Every structure is written in structure tokens, then in C-alpha cells.
Amino acid sequence: MATKAEVLRNKKYSEYIAAITPKTHLAQSLLYAFLIGGIFCLIGQLIYDSFEVIFPHYDHIRLGNITAMVLIAGASFLTGLGLYDKFARRGGAGSFLPITGFANAMASASMEFKTEGLTFGTSTKMFSVVGPVIVNGVVWSTVAALITMLVKVIAAAIGG
Amino acid sequence: MLQRLLTYLIVFTAGGAICALAQILVVKTKLTPARILVIFLVAGIIMQAVGLYERIHNVLRAGISVPIVGFGAALARGANQYAEQHGFIGAFAGGLAITAFGIGIAVVSSYIATLLFRAKSK
Amino acid sequence: MNKTLHTGQNTKWVSCEKQPAPIRKREVVKKMQDTSKRTLFFGNRPKIIGCSAVVGAREKEGPLGKFFRNVETDKTLGQKTFENAEIKMLEKAVESATRGAKLRFSEIDLLLSGDLMNQITSSSYVARKMAVPYMGLYSACSTMTQCLTLGASLVNAGYFDNIACATGSHFATAERQFRFPLEYGCQRPPYAQWTVTGAGCSIIGKDGDGPSITAATIGKAIDFGIKDLSNMGAAMAPAAMDTLCTLFKDTGTDASDYDMIVTGDLGKLGSDIFRDLMSGEGYYMGQDYSDCGAIIYDRNQRCYQGGSGAGCSAAVFNSFVMERLWKKTINKVVFLATGALMSNTSSYQGESIPAISHAVVVEN
């Protein structure tokens, strides 16, 4: 397809582009990611601890679920108000890695396509951004559980 | 009290550090956020599968469960738990079943947000 | 900027500071047969008899703010969707340009228009409203010059008297089309660009007052292997370089023969690359060169490398450039809008980004 001269030219050009393209300020962006990510985790822990005080008889799994749910609902609400992407612009990974980023991705996609109607817009597009997370999560957790089972079966067979 | 403050410090530092690690991937590689999310998710699944996650979580608390790593670990824990309860078929259901709290509220709250608000141009 | 690459013995791109302005002998414009056939000369001098630009609030706040007469502060223009807002904006641009040319819609013989929406729907809906003969064009962000080139050719050939050439883009619709949902928290790299909310329309007429389009060079789809969707400037600069060099060769001119050379939406980074590429070809781009994308936003508006989108070059050309032409502060302009010809599908499939640039020469 591309001639040898073109390949060479493209290679040289991309080296030149790589050299002059401004880079993200690493230290600064790391600091923001650290701060914003840390704050989300801290808020999560605070929610967990307050529910632990209110409902002392709940086990830690239920408290964990409640924490995640509160964070998700809060992030969806912030997304609706148009505030979440404001700290995301600075926070980068600090805002998309926590579970709040997951909620933001879902809420933003579903709001964006509201204009196509609630069925074909919102409902079909809701998972358009978080789809990879759900799909990979289900596939690999299933694989992990099956492997664990297999290991147990083999171990039992050898042991027995 | 001091114990509690120390926990918060650990949570903040650990959570921030995990996010900063992901940010290094953002800046230094051409990986898209979706790819990075999947990488951390799978890391969580692996940690849970080899039995490492529980021990880390006891120390780092929300510092590791709020980032997507915690979601991956929950999926793996559910799949494993259901596989033990229901046998082979449980492995397929467990992940979704146990994370359904989060996904459910995410769907419902997104839907409500959609009804209440509209996307704004920046 | 890393200088070592420029001085490497193998590279043909040299930094602009090191290259003295080459003294080029003026060739007599007689050898039409030697030209590449990519440059069209319009002997009948089709004129731009009316023009108008409509922009959003962010563009108004920029350095060119005082040149923008029609400003829409409401981002939805009172419409239900951003898509409808884009249509409305384009419609307003066509309307006020038509008024500016002292014409009525019924006197427009042809509408040439294009935009960035899926199947150029914005333009088509404007055409529906205007009820005039219409041809939809697509050349990504270089649609404005594509329309001008075709419009000038058709008027020059005598087929039509008045042709409206229009294009526009809206930040919100472009985000959805090419990137992420508006409220999705994503971080842009520092070399990204910001889609301009704006529309522009020029009316090309056979007779009337106004600067005329004397030549146009048709671009080639040039691909230097850039794959990064955020780095549009790097992808498009080679196309602009190719077209401008062809124009210079075909007309026997160089940068000093023009009062202003303006590229479409290369952005700050892209226009630096363009300068470097041009000096590698032996043309020195001086102070008379500027880029619509680089000048439309202020540094502290946090729009990274500047504006992009079809509306960027259309709005800047139809306000800033045309106003100066009309006031005769400048008399000879090369306008090359640049466009990246990729789609989401092609880029997800790992294709590199081809780019195109058409150039028009506008003279008093």
C-alpha cells in the first residue's frame, strides 16, 4: 500500500510531532489525581463509618454496599447538575477510577441521549461508556471463579 | 480517635496513590480511560481470586474499595461465592448478583438524573 | 520545543528561525500548461457580495470578539436540542448574509453547504427551510473553502448568479459525534482543540461589490500517518502545506505576495508545525500568516491549542478576514481551511487520519 518512502516520511514526521507536542505536566496532573482520588476514597470511608454508627448491627458487606450506593447516587446527582466534569477536567484518573466515575459515565451517557427519547436514547445508550467495565468484569470474574473451582477439584482429586 | 484519624490518612493516601498510578498510565501511555478502567478492574479480580484482596482491604479500607479495583474484587467474590453455593452455574451469576446493588442504583439514579436535568454545553 | 530533531542531517524539517527568508525569483504567470491543474483561475472574478458569521458566547469573549456582530449567548438558541441549535445558527448565518448582499432567498440560485453532523443534516434542514436548489458538501472542517471553490467555479462559468456558501459547527453536537457525552468527566491532553460554536456564510455573486475570488487550489487527501484523534493540528498541517505549496508554484507567487495567509483550524501547535513544514519546503511564513483556530480563543479561556470545527474557519473568514478586506486594510488573502477526513469507525479500526485542505485566493 504505502511506499517505502512514505513509510519513512511518516516515521520521521511522527518523531518530529512527538518531539514538539506539549506534554501533560506530569507532577501537577499526578498531584490532582492523587488529591481528587484520595478525597473520593475518604468520602467513601466517612459514609461507611457514619452508617456503621447509625446501624451497628449491619455486617461489613452490607455497609460496603450502602457506601457504594450513596457514592453512586451522589455522583449521578452531581453529573446532573453539571458539576462532576468540572473536577474531572483536573482530576483525570482521580475522578474516573473511583466508583463515582462509573456513575458519572452512566449518567452522562443517559442524559446526553435524552433528546432521542427515553427508549432509544437514554435506555439504549446508558451503558455505552461503561459497557467495557461490565462486560470485562463479568467475563473475567466468571473465568476466575471457574478456575478456582477447577483448582479445588484437582486439589481434591490429588489429595483424595 | 487517633486510630480513626490514622485510618482516614491511610484511606486518603492509598486511594490517591492508586488514582495517581492510573494517571501515570494516562500521561505516559496512549491508553484510553476505558482501557485503564478495565486493567484496574481485572487487577481487582485477580487480587480477589488469589485471596490477596481481603488482606489489603483490611488495611486500606475505602482506599482500595472505592476505586474500580473494589468493584472487580466484588465481582470475583460474588462469582466464587455463588459457585460454591450453586455449583458450576453459580460462577456465571455471582458477579452480577453481588454487584447488583451498585449497578441497580447507578441505572436508577442515572435515569432520574436524565429526567430532572439536561446536558449542558460547556 | 526540542531543537535536536530539526538539525538532524536526515530530517527535512528545519526550524523557522534558522531558515532565512528565501529569495525566490518571481516567475511570470504565463505558463498555465505547466501548472498542476489543481489550481483554478477565475477570469470573470466572482465576488463575495455578502457574508456573515454567527458565533456563541465563548467565541465572542475571544480576541476576535469585536469582529463578531451576530452572537448567540444561549447555547441552545431556544431550541430543544443542540442539533436544532446548530441548524438555527446556520440558518441565521445564511439569512443575514443574504440580507447583507441585499438579496432575498428567492434570488439565491444555489446553496452549497456542509457541516460535521452525521449525514450533513444541519445543512439539509437549512436547505429545507430556504427552499432553494441545494447541494450538500462534506469536507470536514475545510468545507468552507470547498464551498467557495465550487461556488466560484459555477459563478465564473456563468451557470449561476448568486450562490450561498455556508457551513457551521456546534461544540455540543461535535462532542457527541466525535468524543464523549458532554457531562462525562474526561481530561483532554494539552494538545487538544475546542470545537467552535459558530457558523459562517458567504454569498458569491456575478456582479456587485466586494472582493473577488481569483484562484482556488484543490487539495489532496494527505496522510502522514498520524493516528491520535486529539492531535488534529499535526494530522492536518501536511495537507495545508501541500496545498499552499501547489498554489505558490502554480501562481508563481510566495508568501510575501499576500497580505494575509490564513489557515483553517490547525490550532497553535498545528500552525507551528505548518510553519516548520513550509520552511522545509523553502517558504518562509512571516507575520502575515495566522490560523483561525489559534486566534479565535484567548490563552486564558482554557481551550488548549485553540479552536477547531467547520464553524471555526467559516466564522473567522466571514467576519475578521472579510471585514479587513472590505475596509481594504488588506487586499490579497489566501484562505485555506483544513479538514481531517476520519470517522470514529475508521479511527477505532486503527486507520491513520487523512487530511485535506482547499485554498482560495481572495483579492480586492
What are the pLDDT digits (tens) for B12-38?
999 999 999 999 998 888 788 899 999
Q: What is the per-residue pLDDT for C18? A: 44
Q: What is the per-residue pLDDT for C53? A: 95
Contact C255, C289 (CB under 8 A): yes
Same fold, C43-205 and C210-363: yes
Contact C354, C238 (CB under 8 A): no
Q: Are residues A125 and A145 in the same domain?
A: no
Least confident window among A1-5, C119-123, C250-254: A1-5
**Residues of B with Cβ-Cβ distance to A118 under 8 angstroms:** 114
Q: Are residues A89 and A140 in the same domain?
A: no
| Contact assignment for A22 to C81 by CB distance below 8 Å | no
- The DSSP secondary-structure symbol of C197 reads -
Q: What is the domain count for chain A?
A: 2
Residues of C with CB under 8 A from a CB of B: 75-76, 82, 170-172, 181-183, 186-187, 197, 228
Q: What is the per-residue pLDDT for C35? A: 59
- The DSSP secondary-structure symbol of C18 reads T
Backbone angles phi, psi at C49, to 5 degrees: -95, -10
Q: What is the per-residue pLDDT for C62? A: 92
What is the band of A1 on the pLDDT scale with cuts at 50, 70, 90? Answer: low
Which chain A residue shows the shortest CA-CA distance from B81? A145
A123 CA to chain C: closest CA distance, Å? 15
What is the band of C302 on the pLDDT scale with cuts at 50, 70, 90? Answer: confident
Chain A contact for C361 (CB, 8 A cutoff)? no
- What number of C-beta contacts closer than 8 Å exist between A and C? 104
- Please state the domain extents for chain C: 43-205, 210-363
The ipTM of this complex is: 0.94
> Quick one: what percent of chain B has pLDDT higher than 90?
83
- What number of C-beta contacts closer than 8 Å exist between B and C? 20
Q: What is the mean pLDDT of residues C140-145?
A: 93
The model's pTM: 0.89
| Contact assignment for C170 to B121 by CB distance below 8 Å | yes
Chain A contact for B78 (CB, 8 A cutoff)? yes
Q: What is the mean pLDDT of residues C232-237?
A: 93
Please check whether the domain covering C43-205 is classified as CATH 1.20.1600.10.
no
Q: Are residues A43 and A111 in the same domain?
A: yes
Q: Which CATH superfamily is domain C210-363 in?
A: Stage V sporulation protein AD (3.40.47.40)
| Contact assignment for A17 to C190 by CB distance below 8 Å | no
Question: Burial of C109 by CB count in 10 Å (0-12 exposed, 13-18 middle, 19+ buried)?
Answer: middle
| Contact assignment for A12 to C11 by CB distance below 8 Å | yes
**What does the DSSP assignment read for B57-94?**
HHHHTHHHHSBHHHHHHHHHHHHHHHHHHHGGGHHHHH
**Which residue in C182, C186, C187 is closest to B121 by CB distance?**
C182
pLDDT higher for A24 or A47? Answer: A47
Q: Are residues A64 and A117 in the same domain?
A: yes
Q: Are residues A125 and A78 in the same domain?
A: yes
Alpha carbon distance B67, B44 (integer Å): 10
The three three-digit cell numbers of residue B42, written as one number: 481485572
Domain-embedded: residue A136: yes
Contact C216, C246 (CB under 8 A): no
Residues C310-339: pLDDT tens digits?
Answer: 999 999 999 999 999 999 999 999 999 999
* Angle in degrees, 0-180, between the axes of helices C121-130 and C82-100, rounded to the nearest 10: 50
Q: How far is CA A122 from CA A116, A117, B33, B108, B118, in A?
A: 7, 7, 22, 12, 12
Q: What is the per-residue pLDDT for B22? A: 95
Contact B40, B64 (CB under 8 A): no
DSSP H helical ranges for C30-120: 57-60, 82-100
The three three-digit cell numbers of residue C364, written as one number: 480586492
What is the average pLDDT score of chain C? Answer: 88
Domain that holds residue A114: 29-129
| Among B residues 44-73, those touching chain A with beta carbons less than 8 Å apart | 45-46, 48-49, 61-63, 65-68, 70-72
Q: Which residues pair with C54 in a beta bridge?
A: C70, C199
